[in-house]
Amino acid sequence: MQIRQPIVAVLGHVDSGKTSLLDKIRGTGVQAREAGGITQHIGASFLPSEILKKVCGPLYVKMGGANQEIPGLLVIDTPGHEIFTNLRARGGSAADIAILVIDVNRGFQPQTNESLKILQNRKVPFVIALNKVDMISGWKKNPKTMFISQSVKEQDSFVQTALDELLYNVVGTLSILGYNSEAFYRVKDFSKEVAIVPVSARSGEGMPELLAVLVGLTQQYMQKKLDQTEKKTRGIVLEVKEEIGLGMTANMILIDGTLRKSDSVLVAKRDSVIVTKPKAILLPKPLDEMRDPRDKFRPVNEVVAAAGIKIASPDLDGVLPGSPVYATTEESTIDDLKKLIESE
């Protein structure tokens, strides 16, 4: 078995705090590791397992359980504004698991529902980050711990009641939509109940448990999906754009397999599936190396899933964002892969 990192999509209504949540996690990670080392992929950030371990502390082992350890998480941020339905859907279709972010004081909102439909359609399991608990009236940040389970216990009882009321509004809505859900500290079986993790992207409370629940779910229930043995090389196009010095490029998520510069790459245009050889495969440099913005990317000869990457080729003009991508070293499989894309 060779387990790749799970792809985690972050979805939710505009301003629920998706980006802030990721910033907090990345920040915490950078601090925990001191020297940095978090790679900023295109539209995706890679959180290596050392950082997850440091943020989660003893919970990492407790939630994990399984013997096959994931090598980190690839997290895709998506926009919450209503006009970006397509981007949410693309993020959702690359995802193995998702974080649905809900503003605790606002509960379900239009794009919460829309995000949930995307996850439902694609059968993506998810956890809920019930964000902005620091905005609950009377909430006191516990200076001694980032663990929300601890922090909740030490709030005044009227604050605990307020949190539970807001949380059970979400549980109620989810139940109408067909899901059993519960605060993660009351969940008995993570395979049957959607875990709700109260968090604050501002204070950082709840981050250890949010990550631990994600890691636990992927390690326990997704081994087979994540195993790279005999997986086809495939991905999804997020965006197609022209870049100075590179020409036509596609930002994509490589979901499975290894992509090599010598591969034939198949993607869809409006009326046809094209086969192209990438002129370049580009990996974004880690943020701490990105001194000169003109020098953002590092060309590589091959890249292993999961990863956010950019490929360059003049043939990419007109490729549809959202198109599946397949790649192969064997010319003989091209026709089958074409059919596969046409059928998707």
Minimum distance of Mg ion from residue 115's CB (angstroms)? 13
Report the alpha-carbon distance of residue 316 to residue 267 in Å, rounded.
8
Beta strand pairing status for 233-243 and 324-328?
antiparallel
131 binds ligand GTP (CB under 6 A): yes
Tell me how many degrees the CA angle 43-240-259 measures, rounded to the nearest 5. Answer: 70
> Is 36 labelled a binding residue?
no
> Is 321 labelled a binding residue?
no
Report the alpha-carbon distance of residue 21 to residue 104 in Å, rounded.
14
* Token pair for 320: 């549809």
81, interface contact from Mg ion, ligand GTP, Na ion, none, CB < 5-8 Å by kind: ligand GTP
135, interface contact from ligand GTP, Mg ion, Na ion, none, CB < 5-8 Å by kind: ligand GTP
100 binds ligand GTP (CB under 6 A): no
Minimum distance of Na ion from residue 42's CB (angstroms)? 19
Whether the bond between 312 and the residue before it is cis, its omega within 30 degrees of 0, is no
Minimum distance of Na ion from residue 238's CB (angstroms)? 19
> Is 133 labelled a binding residue?
yes
Which of 16, 39 has the CB closer to ligand GTP?
Answer: 16
CB 264 within 8 A of CB 277: yes
15 binds Na ion (CB under 5 A): yes
Alpha helices per DSSP H over 11-132: 18-33, 49-56, 59-64, 85-94, 110-121
Minimum distance of ligand GTP from residue 204's CB (angstroms)? 9
What are the angstrom distances between the C-alpha of 321 and each of 5, 119, 155, 246, 267? 23, 19, 47, 18, 10
> Among 232, 242, 239, which residue's Cα sits nearest to residue 312?
242
3-state secondary structure of 242: strand
Q: Could you say which of 19, 160, 173, 223 contacts Mg ion (CB under 5 A)?
A: 19
Residue 235 corresponds to which amino acid? G
Minimum distance of ligand GTP from residue 202's CB (angstroms)? 4
Which of 16, 276 has the CB closer to Mg ion?
Answer: 16
23 binds Na ion (CB under 5 A): no
Q: Could you say which of 3, 6, 11, 17 contacts ligand GTP (CB under 6 A)?
A: 17
19 binds ligand GTP (CB under 6 A): yes
80 binds ligand GTP (CB under 6 A): yes
Beta-carbon count within 10 A of 329 CB = 11
Residue 262 corresponds to which amino acid? S
Q: Could you say which of 14, 159, 246, 334 contacts ligand GTP (CB under 6 A)?
A: 14
3-state secondary structure of 195: strand
173, interface contact from Na ion, ligand GTP, Mg ion, none, CB < 5-8 Å by kind: none
Instruction: Provide the mask over 183-202, with x wherever binding to ligand GTP is found by CB under 6 A and - wherever it is not.
Output: -----------------xxx
Report the alpha-carbon distance of residue 174 to residue 116 in Å, rounded.
10
Q: Which residues, 6+ apart, have CB-to-CB distance to 28 below 8 Å? A: 55, 204, 207
> Is 79 labelled a binding residue?
yes
26 binds ligand GTP (CB under 6 A): no
142 binds Mg ion (CB under 5 A): no
> Is 78 labelled a binding residue?
yes
CB 228 within 8 A of CB 4: yes
Binding site residues, Mg ion, CB under 5 A: 18-19
Binding site residues, Na ion, CB under 5 A: 15
Binding site residues, ligand GTP, CB under 6 A: 12, 14-20, 79-81, 131-132, 134-135, 200-202
Binding residues for GTP: 77-81, 131-134
Binding residues: 77-81, 131-134
